[in-house]
Amino acid sequence: MKKAFLVISLSLGCHAVFSQATTSQPTGIAAERNLHEIGNSGNLSGVVQTFDNRYEGVKGSPYFFQNWGDAVITSVDNKVYASVPLKYNALENTLVYQNNKGVIYVLAATIVDRFTLKDSLGLASYTFKKLDAPAKTPDQFYLVLHEGPKILLAMRQDKHILKADFKGGYSAGRPYDEIVTQNVYYLHKPGKTAEKVKLSKKQLLEAIADQKEAVSHFIKENNIDAGSESGWVKVLAYYETL
């Protein structure tokens, strides 16, 4: 399969990248055609390179989902493109999409505001957006777990490469590079900077201290695990109703 890697310069501008946009949302071939223009070096000054194989032989995956999923992409200038085959590279914080000819392109996070990605079966959707939060990567995307008028809970899938360790001899050590993943959680309230949190009952009750008594009762009555992701989502949804 022919593959190509697209490096997008910020100087291209969002209008040039998401060209021929209209007020409606292009889908399927129309959306793919608009995005495909990014790779047309005859019209734009984008640089097309051979898709590299840097992760071959590395254990683990740089992607949020290893398989392609259907996505809706919103650019920073609020243009929307639907039905785009996509992978999110959480290691590099980039969007990888594939056209109907099997050619692969990479969209820099600087030109994307948010995106919603379905799993390969189309059964669940995952929305990623940027937050006002400390991050090691500029324009970092966060997975939205709960979003309401009062509070937002998001997760950053922190991936990094653990280099091979040959010091252990034949019976120990790690004779291969490995991509390891850690989920890091953030709470964001309107007008404030997002703060990193640990999923514990203590931090949850501190986050919603204005309704601590009501929330504590809700957790106890519904036997909610306040140390889990699903537990926090249930509690924050209830908190929004108070």
Distance CA 42, CA 34 (A): 15
Q: Taking a C-beta distance cutoff of 8 angstroms, is the pair 139, 72 a contact?
A: no
pLDDT of residue 46: 28
Mean pLDDT of 41-58: 48
pLDDT of residue 173: 67
Mean pLDDT of 158-184: 78
CA distances from 239 to 63, 138, 145, 169, 210 (A): 33, 31, 14, 54, 10
Quickly state the pLDDT bin for 41 (edges 50, 70, 90): very low
Token output for 36: 């495909």
pTM of the model: 0.77
Mean pLDDT of 95-117: 85
Beta pairing, strands 125-130 & 112-118: antiparallel
Quickly state the pLDDT bin for 121 (edges 50, 70, 90): confident
Burial 101-130 (b: 16+ CB within 10 A, else e): eebbbbbbbebbbbbbbbeeeeeeebbbbb
Q: Which residues contact residue 112 at a Cβ distance below 8 angstroms, ignoring those fewer than 6 apart?
A: 73, 74, 75, 76, 95, 141
pLDDT of residue 2: 40
The three-state secondary structure class of 9 is coil
pLDDT of residue 43: 32
Q: Which residues contact residue 203 at a Cβ distance below 8 angstroms, ignoring those fewer than 6 apart?
A: 197
Distance CA 21, CA 155 (A): 31
pLDDT at 10 over 60: no
Distance CA 139, CA 126 (A): 18
